[in-house]
Structure 1
């Protein structure tokens, strides 16, 4: 299960290991398409990567601090540092390829 995180626990939840955070909103069509892809990857890669998601409407501070202007945005962090960012809808294969570089 992809863990829902907030502005308050973002640093704590994405500070260690390889993490992917899906920045999304309920009104965003491409976000609703991206979500099942992220959930499928989580079920296959959860031993290597921690998967989280954040609603940007409910948690605007984190998105603003990283300059996220478009959603969905998938942010990959390794040990707390941003190592990659994917903006817009991406296929499972595209995301997997990025994650395998860091996992």
Structure 2
């Protein structure tokens, strides 16, 4: 009788893990499909990066697929860029796929955002950031 209860206990435990794993895969795949629509940059060199930030107002957003806070920040960034029309360039950089850029920024944490104006670093922020704060900074530097 004891072996039967032990077996039943382990079956419940494994079925719960299987359910959680399956849900996680579905969520992760759906999330990854939505990320494919973003201008995610892979294999970016430091020289290419410097060319992209050389002129105008550029928001650089560093993130990773495994970062839970990045998953919350990404829709905020997308909404902000959509509202800005052509006033703002966006670079979304995958830190896992860009080790050179990762070393260049000496990334202390994710998500990490930088604002560059005509190639000069003018603002940065680590962690989940409200849309209003980013928008205030962008408006300040567009004057």
TM-score by length of 2: 0.67
Deviation beyond 2 Å, 4+ runs, structure 1: 1-9
SS of equivalent to 1:36: helix
> Per chain length, whose mean CA-contact separation is higher, i.e. which structure has more relative contact order (CA < 8 Å, sep 6+)?
1
Q: How many pairs does the alignment contain?
A: 103
Partner of 1:4: 40
TM-score of the superposition, structure 1-length normalised? Answer: 0.91
**Structure 2 partner of 1:47:** 86
Shift of 1:67: 2.1
Contact 1:31 1:72 in 2 (8 A): yes
Higher share of residues assigned helix: 2
Greater fraction strand: 1
Aligned to 1:19: 58
Distance in 2 separating the partners of 1:43 and 1:72: 19
Distance in 1 of aligned mates of 2:40 and 2:58: 13
CA RMSD of aligned residues (A): 1.5
